[in-house]
A and B are shown apart, each in its own frame.
Chain A
Amino acid sequence: MSKQTLPILIAILAAPALAADDAATRKDLTSVIALQGLPCGEVVRVETQGENDHIATCKDKHRYHIFINSAGRVVVEKQ
């Protein structure tokens, strides 16, 4: 196996796992927003700003900052 082949192979193998994680995060955040009774429909894009700190963009264009505050509560702020 050439030196170039290994990184490409790793990237190909890792891609589905990363995609799955991303889909799981989108689904997780979609549920969080719905549980707060806020409009969204479905999260289509997530920008991760830190551990458990995300900006979620919804299908209906709403954007929310979702994070865990110091009291351990999940906070959903409309952007």
Chain B
Amino acid sequence: MRILAFASLAVLVAGCGAVERASAANPPESMTVAQAAVPAAPPLDLGSLETRLRETSAIGLMTKLTLRNQVDDLLNQFRAFYAGRLETTLAELRHPFNLLMLKVLSLLQDKDPALAAALAASREAIWAILSDRAKFAAMS
């Protein structure tokens, strides 16, 4: 059977990676010399995270597909929000995002704690993409 295991979450993560790589390659012109001199935090290895999410045995196939469905639903909410078709706020969208992250983390924490920790560490980076119209559009 052809299953794109965890594809949506992987795409979400991969999309974040693509945007971050693009941002790094083209720093905003307004960036000052002082800002540029500040050592950046180590970049998230989102490509690796994507692969690990897809391949982890900590989550079963049907569960991965269910999560993929829920990620798709969340992304559709963001699309509708940015298109003006959904009357909500980013603060309200944060709740389903947090809930979904918690679901994934709870599934991973016992059998793949390293991946759970890596995902938890990426949480704000992923939210930063989702909550930025331009970055989200670039990801989509």
- Looking at B59, B60, B61, B62, which has the most chain A CB atoms within 10 Å of its CB? B62
Q: Are B69 and A31 in contact (CB under 8 A)?
A: no
Interface SS of chain B: helix, strand, loop or mixed?
A: helix
- Assess whether B66 is in contact with A36, with CB atoms less than 8 Å apart: yes
Interface size on B, residues (CB 8 A): 13
- Chain A residues closer than 8 Å to B59, beta-carbon distance: 31
Contact with B along A1-45 (1 / 0, CB 8 A): 000000000000000000000001101110110011000000000
Give the total of A residues in contact with B, Cβ under 8 Å.
16
Task: Answer whether residue B65 sits at the interface, using C-beta atoms and an 8 A cutoff.
Answer: yes
- Residues in B whose Cβ lies below 8 Å from that of A36: 66
C-alpha spacing A25/B62, complex, angstroms: 9
- Chain A, Cβ-Cβ closest to B1: A51
Q: Which of A25, A27, A74 contacts B66 (CB 8 A)?
A: A74
Q: Which residues of B contact A28 (CB under 8 A)?
A: 60-63
Given known A-B contacts A51-B1, A52-B1, A35 and B66 have beta carbons under 8 A apart: yes
What is the distance, in angstroms, from A34's C-beta to the closest C-beta of chain B? 8
Interface residues of B, Cβ cutoff 8 Å to A: 1, 59-63, 65-67, 69-70, 103, 107
